[in-house]
Amino acid sequence: MVQERIEAANKKVMEIILNGQPTLLDIGVAEEVIPGMTKITILHAGPPIKWEKMSGPLKGAVIGALIYEGLAVDEKEAAELAASGEISYNPCHHHKTVGPMAGVVSASMPVWILQNKKYSNYSYCTLNEGLGKVLRYGAYSDEVIKRLKWMENLLAPLLKQALKLHGPIDLKTMITQALQMGDEGHNRNRAGTSLLIRELAPYIIQTKFSEKEKIEVLKFIDSNDHFFLNLTMPAAKCTMDAVKNIEFSTIVTVMARNGTEFGIRVSGLGERWFTGPAGIVEGLLFPGYSAEDANPDIGDSVIAETVGIGGFAMAAAPAIVQFVGGTAKDAVNFTLKMYEITAAENNIYKIPALDFRGTPTGIDIRKVVETGILPSINTGIAHKDPGVGQIGAGLVKPPMNCFEDALQAFVEDLETKNLV
Amino acid sequence: MVLKYLIRENAYYDSVTLMIITREVKKIEGVKEVIVGVGTELNKELAGNLNLLTPELQKITPNDFFISLDSVDNNIAKKAFAFVDELLSKKKAESEDYQPSTFESALKYMPDANLVLISLPGKYAAREVKKALLNDKHVMLFSDNVSLEEEMDLKNLAKQSGLLMMGPDCGTAIINHISLAFANVVRKGPIGIVGASGTGMQEVTVMIDKLGSGISQAIGTGGRDLKAEVGGIMMIESIKALQHDPLTEVMVLISKPPDKEVAKKVLSILKEGEKPSVVYFAGGDPGVIKEYGSVPGLSLEDTARKAVAITKGMPTEDFTGFTVTNIDKIIQEEAKKLKKDQRYIRGLYTGGTLCDEAMIILSALIGDIYSNVPLKPEGKLSNINRSYKHSFIDLGDDEFTRGKPHPMIDPYVRQERILSEVKDREVAIILMDFVLGFGSNSDPAGEMIPYIQKARKIAAKDGRHIYIISSVCGTEADPQSLIGQEKKLKEEGVIVMPSNAQAVRLAAAIVLSRRNSQ
Amino acid sequence: MLLAKSVASDLNDTLTSKTVEGIVHSVFDHACNIQLDRNSLVTLISSKLPNYPAAVKLDIAEDQKLCSFGFKVGMKAIVNKDEIKIPEVCVSIKLTGVKVWDSAPLFLKSKISEEMLCENIEKIRKLILEYGKTEGIASILDGNEVDNNYKNFIINSVKRLAKGISDFDYKEITEASKRLIGLGPGLTPAADDFLLGILASLYYIGYYFGNHLESLKKIASFIIYDLPGRTTFISEIMLRNGMKARFSEPIRDLVLVVTNSNSINDECVNLLNIGGTSGSDCAAGIVFGGELMAKVKILK
Amino acid sequence: MTKINELFQEKLKVINMGLESFNENLKKQNVKTVQVDWKPPARGNKKMLSLLDKLK
């Protein structure tokens, strides 16, 4: 009996996920558009965490955000404020938001505004800052703050105008195309970024900004292959939020890490987090860094895998198989393995190397626990000290206990309902 | 200037590879000149002209490959050779096929699979067998440690669905001429076999092949099928299938002595089918077999001979002798070489049914036999690691294999055992089986030979001569090749008999001849 | 368990009703040589390769490589006219009823003019220098002096060989070819491929000019007179077959069109694509031998 | 005709669960196979297995 209920619920969930229509609408200011956002709110990646427990990159990003907001003048003051209890820390996921790496969002930051057209729910994400010393890796030096200000004052207003001229952008189609051009949507975003520039360039030209400013903006986007990641993520978020509380479903709706803990949420269990220690990413480190420099797994970007791309679409991105230490065939096998723990094959996201088979979509906690196969996540590696930045990229797996605990909670929930 | 060379004997590379090597090595900074090729006279002469010849290179033949290079220093040469090595040994990464994680997932990759071969740990096996049967797949269950209850459930389920469920503990089957798990490569032919024992089926199929005939199918049932509880479910279903199989003309059944009622049931079904049949119930009563119109087999070899005789329309005569000529002379001469104390035979077997067969034949000829798997309870060895009088050890029995590979795969246990047996002054003969075929060790004879030599030395130190008598259960088409294995043994002075039964009889004859002469 | 697509007709002599043992001599992606004794060989080739003497073409997928069957150097092979078995890897190749590829020479009455023939040879020369691989000895055709160790080493011997053939001087021929056999890298050294090309021209273009097969055969046997021990086993067999006017499909196709057609492009490119430098070296031999025969015409 | 007799008419196609050497041997005989990369369900965790069973 209970099995049929679960299957029916999961079927419904998968329908909603596959029917999702993530669409880019606009750019706004966090405080004005993100629900529940205040001047003293700091959103961060992953499950809830206290200041004391935060890892280096997340602490650095918080300090940077406080300086950026003018709530503190320097690191020392910011750190004191951060620890004072006056700041309200909240997971992005509690605010329809997602953020890469540290994922820090503060009141005056510009954010992308997306909507799942099919189910009318919204999602938000900051604009990608580029590579090197950036806030999302915990850097807070003057140049970081300066760039954030530039983004607030030029990048965001200009793109907002261009978007207005262009009208809403169907991101699902764009992600689909990117997957067929060698992106997997998490560690490789070069195709997606290119597609976005191609779409927006004619409208950027038409904005009322100066030639020099337009060039600056286009160059900025062009210099950063991951620019599109900050659109893939909220696209996944608004797709998954549409199923965030469907009774009896065993499908994972959120996976996220805060640099200390990895957490998941399951559709049938609503907004509860199931957490375990964040893992160490295995992969290629940039020259000059060793495994000891690496921070545990961090960021909301794993929402990509939750919706069936990223590591799950590894077979689409042979260009980055060296991150998983192997051949194109290894990449294919990575993706094939994920079909073992997912509920459906994507109807839109397809992989050329697998004869356009849909990506494995919808992680079922029952299958994860039964097979012992954990989701494979593609991700960047942050330096453990604030402000150093990205030191590599590779592959990580969530801790098994998240899924086991969730399964136990799921059964207990059914027990209280006298269903098992 | 440093002159360095590299020689690979009997190595051949295609010219594409060599072209790339020449081109790439020349590109290395500091390499002055290089020559790559096979060691023909002219290539060596050319090397000489280029000042790239060394005395060592002078000696190579056209079957050898060489590279010689002149570089500014040792490091450059080292670097160049490391690079050549890499180019030559570059294996195209054998891309591994995807392996699905569960039976359900495997089904997606092969929905039209018709057989599932399961060798998982016993406690998990039943669950997977059930899934396979429910999905309409035939099953061969190699695993043991499956409970009798589970076996009954699974076999009943299989019977209801009309499916084969071979096992648990089914080590051998040949279905549609494909060897499954441990089985030999034997000819196609008119004889269909149903067997409850692995090496028993191997010996019979091999003997049939040696006699120039072949088999249609060889279906394993697992050792417990003919127990009262299971009631011969799979044997009966398999007999029925072979009775309907147009390619099967003669049927052969192999099993330990079954439960009496089950035996009657099985034999009566065999009778109904009207195909001629030979039945070997190891050590069982031949009377009941005859009663139901089947021909009883006296040994595995005899069973095979009778089955082949039937296919040729010849009379089925009991065979209890030798096919080797001059056997009496051998027996007498060999017996003379034994010392006064040397009285006993020690059987070191990897095949359980072969060990059983040996004890059955031998106990009728020379009396009590001790074993870890005795025919009668009083023959049980108190310590399985220490032989006593005539002892026969089934080294594949649970007590020896717990946590270790089967001796048909890893000969370690037998290697050790032969050394301890030979220290016993009363030992005259050591009997061994060598089982070939898929699944078995790739060179069972070769693995034993160093230990046979050691054993011989130990005995020789004591002034004793030890007889080692063996039979090789295999065919020329087996991966290990029968002739090669037999040759290796013969070269070591091991007496190789054409069947286990004959090997056992020879051992008995030598011991008896010695007894009589004293 | 495996089927053959075709079997070279010359294997009739090698594979008889008597079962003999051989060993795997060498294994490549698309070919596996089985040595039977000092003088005979069976080559298993994938369906991708053209037919050639002593070869059994297997009926396997085009891209399936022979190493995928697990063949390893030194494995035992058991062969007779019905079957080739490599028991260690459980491969058995059935030969009964398989199509025979006739490796015997195919001399056709030609209709093309001498002029056309010379033009054809000239075309091949150009194709080799343009598309061929000249790391072997094919560059001998370009007339330049230095630049290639092999070329410098053989240039005099080649000239001597030419003179020997035109003078029908068997001593000169054997001496010169002795200075060529076995030179160069690879399983079939470059100069051997070159000699094979010369043999092909000798027979086919020699036949065009009306030479007696007997005298052509005589020259051929002089060319390989001092063969044993001078080169690799595989190459030795190849040259022996060449002496009997048995050539692989692409070589035979090319010399046939040279003497019978005005379009030689496809056949020439096919040959150039064989092996690393083998095809180019052999084609160079065809050009060299062709020019020589066109000059000498009738051997005295 | 029973399913067993039908099997005798077909080409063997095998799903192999367990010893990979069996799979290799089948491949050597040109049998189409799928090897299952089998692990004990729920990594052998009895508590998890009982939870999973409750959902069935």
Over residues C140-161, the mean pLDDT reads 76
| Distance, CA of B87 to CA of A35 (rounded, Å) | 61
Confirm whether C196 is domain-assigned: yes
Domains and CATH numbers, chain B: 2-89 (3.30.70.60), 103-311 (3.40.50.261), 327-517 (3.40.50.261)
Q: Compare A393 and A229 and report the one with higher pLDDT.
A: A229
Residue B403 is predicted with a pLDDT of 67
Q: What is the CATH number of the domain that holds A406?
A: 3.90.1700.10
Range of the domain at A380: 244-416
Instruction: Tell me whether A366 touches chain B (CB under 8 Å).
Output: no
Q: Compare A420 and B184 and report the one with higher pLDDT.
A: B184
Residues C137 and C233 in one domain: yes
| Distance, CA of A397 to CA of C102 (rounded, Å) | 61
Instruction: Tell me whether A373 touches chain B (CB under 8 Å).
Output: yes
Q: What is the CATH number of the domain that holds C26?
A: 2.40.50
Instruction: Tell me whether A412 touches chain D (CB under 8 Å).
Output: no
Residues A293 and A381 in one domain: yes
Residues A61 and A181 in one domain: yes
> What are A261-312's pLDDT values in tens digits?
999 999 999 999 999 999 888 877 777 777 788 899 999 999 999 999 999 9
Confirm whether A7 is domain-assigned: no
* Domains of chain A: total: 2
Angular region, B251: left φ>0, alpha ψ -120 to 50, beta rest: beta
Residue C146 is predicted with a pLDDT of 52
Contacts of B81 (CB under 8 A, 6+ apart): B4, B6, B67
Q: Compare C138 and A142 and report the one with higher pLDDT.
A: A142
Residues C285 and C175 in one domain: yes
Lowest mean pLDDT among A372-381, B20-29, B380-389: B20-29
Length, in residues, of chain B: 518
Taking contacts as CB-CB distances below 8 angstroms, the residues of chain D near B100 are 34, 36-37
Residue A154 is predicted with a pLDDT of 97
Q: Is B314 helix (H, G, I), strand (E, B) or coil?
A: coil
Q: How confident is the model at residue B14 (pLDDT cuts 50, 70, 90)?
A: low
Bridge partners (DSSP) of residue B446 are none
Question: Distance from B107 to chain D by nearest Cα, in Å?
Answer: 8
Helix spans in A223-354 (H): 229-241, 303-306, 328-338
Residue B92 is predicted with a pLDDT of 43
| Distance, CA of C14 to CA of C41 (rounded, Å) | 8
| Distance, CA of C201 to CA of D37 (rounded, Å) | 59
> What are B401-413's pLDDT values in tens digits?
776 778 998 888 8
Q: What is the CATH number of the domain that holds A149?
A: 3.90.1710.10
DSSP one-letter code for A396: E
Closest chain C CA to residue B17: C276
Q: Is D12 helix (H, G, I), strand (E, B) or coil?
A: coil
Q: Does residue C145 carry a pLDDT above 60?
A: no
> What are B82-139's pLDDT values in tens digits?
888 777 765 444 446 889 999 999 999 999 999 999 999 888 899 999 999 999 999 9
| Distance, CA of B458 to CA of B464 (rounded, Å) | 9
Distances (CA, A) of A243 to A45, A312, A313, A347, A408: 20, 20, 22, 17, 20
Taking contacts as CB-CB distances below 8 angstroms, the residues of chain D near A2 are 54-56
Chains D and A touch (3+ CB pairs under 8 A): yes
Amino acid at B238: S
Contact A269, A409 (CB under 8 A): yes
| Distance, CA of B329 to CA of B322 (rounded, Å) | 13
Looking at chain B, the number of H-run helices and the number of E-run strands are 19, 19
Length, in residues, of chain D: 56
The mean pLDDT of chain B is 90
Residues A266 and A314 in one domain: yes
Confirm whether A4 is domain-assigned: no
| Distance, CA of A337 to CA of D37 (rounded, Å) | 10
Distances (CA, A) of A173 to A167, A350, B254, C29: 15, 11, 66, 43
Q: What percent of chain A has pLDDT over 70?
A: 99
Q: CA angle, A48 as apex, A45 and A52 as ends, to 5°?
A: 95
Question: What value of ipTM does the predicted structure carry?
Answer: 0.66
- Neighbouring subunits of B (3+ Cβ pairs under 8 A): A, C, D
| Distance, CA of B444 to CA of B406 (rounded, Å) | 12
Residues C64 and C164 in one domain: no
Range of the domain at C160: 114-296
Which of C26, C153, C276 is facing B18, going by the closest CB pair?
C276
Which of B19, B40, B49 is facing C135, going by the closest CB pair?
B19
Q: Does residue B81 carry a pLDDT above 90?
A: no
| Distance, CA of A300 to CA of A186 (rounded, Å) | 11
Over residues A175-183, the mean pLDDT reads 92
Q: How confident is the model at residue D27 (pLDDT cuts 50, 70, 90)?
A: very high
Residue B173 is predicted with a pLDDT of 97
Confirm whether A8 is domain-assigned: no
Residues A253 and A336 in one domain: yes
Could you list the beta-strand ranges (E) of B61-129: 65-71, 115-118
Closest chain C CA to residue D30: C1
Q: Is B14 helix (H, G, I), strand (E, B) or coil?
A: coil
Q: What does A33-96 look like in DSSP terms, one character per residue?
A: HSTT--TTEEEESSS---GGG--HHHHHHHHHHHHHTTS-SSHHHHHHHHHHT-SEEEEGGGGT
Taking contacts as CB-CB distances below 8 angstroms, the residues of chain D near A400 are 43
3-state DSSP: chain B helix, strand, coil percent, rounded to 5?
45, 20, 40
Over residues A141-165, the mean pLDDT reads 96
| Distance, CA of A419 to CA of A416 (rounded, Å) | 8
Residues A36 and A157 in one domain: yes
Taking contacts as CB-CB distances below 8 angstroms, the residues of chain D near A274 are none
Contact C115, C24 (CB under 8 A): no
Residue B93 is predicted with a pLDDT of 43
Confirm whether A14 is domain-assigned: no
> What are C74-122's pLDDT values in tens digits?
888 999 998 998 887 767 888 888 899 999 998 888 778 999 999 999 9
Q: Does residue A313 carry a pLDDT above 50?
A: yes
Confirm whether C92 is domain-assigned: yes
Q: Compare B25 and C290 and report the one with higher pLDDT.
A: C290
| Distance, CA of C235 to CA of C189 (rounded, Å) | 7
Confirm whether A17 is domain-assigned: no
Q: Compare B158 and A317 and report the one with higher pLDDT.
A: B158
Closest chain B CA to residue D30: B178
Chain B residues 162-181 with CB within 8 Å of chain D: 162-164, 175-176, 178-181
Residues C217 and C172 in one domain: yes
Residue B433 is predicted with a pLDDT of 97
Residues C147 and C172 in one domain: yes
A159 is written with which tokens?
């793109």
Q: Does residue B38 carry a pLDDT above 50?
A: yes
Question: Distance from B145 to chain D by nearest Cα, in Å?
Answer: 15
Residues A260 and A297 in one domain: yes
Positive or negative, the Cα torsion across A61, A64, A66, A68? Answer: negative
Q: What are phi and psi of C219, to 5 degrees?
A: -55, -45
Q: What percent of chain B has pLDDT over 70?
A: 97
Residues C292 and C144 in one domain: yes
Residue D29 to residue C1, Cβ atoms within 8 A:
yes
Amino acid at A350: K
> What are B285-324's pLDDT values in tens digits?
899 999 999 999 999 999 999 999 999 999 999 999 998 8
Residues C126 and C69 in one domain: no
Q: How confident is the model at residue B363 (pLDDT cuts 50, 70, 90)?
A: very high
Residue B89 is predicted with a pLDDT of 67
Chains A and B touch (3+ CB pairs under 8 A): yes
Residue B91 is predicted with a pLDDT of 47
Over residues B38-58, the mean pLDDT reads 85
* Domains of chain C: total: 2
| Distance, CA of B360 to CA of B281 (rounded, Å) | 11
Question: Distance from B119 to chain D by nearest Cα, in Å?
Answer: 5
CA-wise closest residue to A397 among A417, A384, A379, A370: A379
| Distance, CA of B298 to CA of B295 (rounded, Å) | 10
| Helix or strand holding residue C150 (H, E) | helix C149-167
Confirm whether A260 is domain-assigned: yes
Q: Which residues of C21-34 are buried (b: 16+ CB within 10 A; e: fewer)?
A: ebebbbbbbbbbbb
| Distance, CA of A232 to CA of A387 (rounded, Å) | 25
> What are C218-241's pLDDT values in tens digits?
999 999 988 888 898 899 999 999
Q: CA angle, A167 as apex, A165 and A173 as ends, to 5°?
A: 135
Over residues A88-97, the mean pLDDT reads 97
DSSP one-letter code for A271: T
Residues C219 and C185 in one domain: yes
Residues C79 and C166 in one domain: no
The residue out of C46, C78, C101 marking a domain boundary is C101
Residue A49 is predicted with a pLDDT of 96
Amino acid at C81: K
Residue A326 is predicted with a pLDDT of 62
| Distance, CA of C72 to CA of C27 (rounded, Å) | 7
CA-wise closest residue to B387 among B398, B374, B376: B374
Confirm whether A186 is domain-assigned: yes
Residue C216 is predicted with a pLDDT of 92
Residue C151 is predicted with a pLDDT of 72
> What are A117-132's pLDDT values in tens digits?
999 999 999 999 988 7
Q: Is B484 helix (H, G, I), strand (E, B) or coil?
A: helix
Q: Is C224 helix (H, G, I), strand (E, B) or coil?
A: coil
Q: Does residue B28 carry a pLDDT above 90?
A: no
Residue A162 is predicted with a pLDDT of 97
Instruction: Indicate the burial class of D46 (C-beta count within 10 angstroms; 0-12, 13-18, 19 or more).
Output: exposed
| Distance, CA of C120 to CA of B292 (rounded, Å) | 84
Contacts of B394 (CB under 8 A, 6+ apart): B349, B352, B355, B356, B371, B372, B373, B400
Residue C90 is predicted with a pLDDT of 67
Q: Does residue C253 carry a pLDDT above 60?
A: yes
C150 is written with which tokens?
């092999």
A373 is written with which tokens?
């196969």
